[in-house]
Amino acid sequence: MDLSLDPNLGGGSLLIAWQLKDKNVLIVGGGEVASQRVESILVTDARITVLSPEKGLSLRTKRFLELYPDRIVHYDRPFTGSNELENMDMVLTAIDDNNLSLEIVGMCRKAKIPVNAADIPDLCDFYFGAQIRDGPLQIMISTNGQGPRLSALIKQKVQGSLTGFEGEALRKVGELRQLLKVYEPGVGGAAGRKRMKWMTQLCNQWEMEEFASMDADMMKRIMEDGWMQGRCPTFEEVGGKSSRRTLAGGPQTISSWSKNLLIPSLSFVAGLVVAGLISIPRRR
């Protein structure tokens, strides 16, 4: 256990996944930044209220209002006062009026409603960051305001490290875990530990692509030929076609294949050729 005193331990944020299912989120403003806020909140299952005069709506905000009329309510007027905050669970301001922003932040603080004001970072309860999403997988990259451009570059790198199968794999593993609970019911305790140990073994053994390609039949075989026998079956044992991995491979799979095999192979051939060239003059 390495808990040595870390002088850099402070100074950061608490990165969390806020739950907004069936909650009310107020977005004050309708411009470009407001459209980013709408997009962030659409990821959750919150009810969105956009408060902005029609003329202040960006093309992007307008498009969201058209596409998701059942999820976003738009009022064609500016912010009128603390009555707007009634029943709100979160407030995001994205307006040009710095004083009004300050005022809204003050009202939210008083009403204990989490608030983010795009133009007053110092007073925000929370910040946004660069986001990656693939189904149940969500990744946030925060640079604590230090470098918006580098943040985008880091996001590209992180995105490049994913195979593209993660979201589907998570979804399928979620299903398998549900099935496992049918075969081995019980909450916590010995049953829970036994299930967890087996799932960990399986996760260490199988590839992301393999999990992603599981179907109902394979899951049943994993349970029957694996769990019931007290072991972790291989992907092939339960009917998985390993060729699938290359055929269905995303761009990352192909590129890492080329790095791992293609370049060394070419180098090997180059070695053969060079050696051949060297030996030709000798033979003469």
Just list the catalytic residues: 119
Within residues 163-192, the interface with its own copies by CB under 8 A covers 166, 169-171, 173-174, 177
Of 102, 126, 194, 248, the one binding its own copies (CB under 8 A) is 126
CB of residue 241 to its own copies, shortest distance in Å: 21
CB of 147 within 8 A of CB of 124?
no
CB of 71 within 8 A of CB of 42?
yes
Within residues 39-68, the interface with its own copies by CB under 8 A covers 40-46, 59-60, 63-64, 67-68
User: Is residue 144 a contact residue for its own copies (CB under 8 A)?
Assistant: yes
CA distance 263 to 115: 52
User: Is residue 254 a contact residue for its own copies (CB under 8 A)?
Assistant: no
Q: Which is nearer to its own copies, 9 or 247 (CB)?
A: 9
CB of residue 122 to its own copies, shortest distance in Å: 9
Region from 74-82, 110-118, 213-221, 231-239 binding its own copies, contact rule CB under 8 A = 110-118
CA distance 53 to 215: 50
> Whose CA is closest to 76, among 89, 65, 86?
65
The number of beta carbons lying within 10 Å of the beta carbon of residue 44 is 16
> Whose CA is closest to 252, among 134, 166, 132, 160?
160
Token representation of residue 239:
């009917």
CB of residue 137 to its own copies, shortest distance in Å: 6
Phi and psi angles of residue 115, each rounded to the nearest 5 degrees, phi first: -140, 140
> Whose CA is closest to 25, among 9, 10, 40, 14?
40
User: Is residue 120 a contact residue for its own copies (CB under 8 A)?
Assistant: no
Q: Which is nearer to its own copies, 68 or 77 (CB)?
A: 68
Q: Which is nearer to its own copies, 83 or 146 (CB)?
A: 146
Region from 76-84, 219-227, 234-242, 269-277 binding its own copies, contact rule CB under 8 A = 269-277
Phi and psi angles of residue 206, each rounded to the nearest 5 degrees, phi first: -95, 155
User: Is residue 230 a contact residue for its own copies (CB under 8 A)?
Assistant: no
User: Is residue 36 a contact residue for its own copies (CB under 8 A)?
Assistant: no
Within residues 67-106, the interface with its own copies by CB under 8 A covers 67-68, 71
CB of residue 9 to its own copies, shortest distance in Å: 5
Phi and psi angles of residue 127, each rounded to the nearest 5 degrees, phi first: -115, 160
Q: Which is nearer to its own copies, 71 or 77 (CB)?
A: 71
User: Is residue 14 a contact residue for its own copies (CB under 8 A)?
Assistant: yes
Q: Which is nearer to its own copies, 77 or 193 (CB)?
A: 193
> Whose CA is closest to 232, among 191, 210, 202?
202
CB of residue 211 to its own copies, shortest distance in Å: 7
User: Is residue 284 a contact residue for its own copies (CB under 8 A)?
Assistant: no
CA distance 131 to 36: 11
CB of 183 within 8 A of CB of 205?
no
CA distance 169 to 215: 11
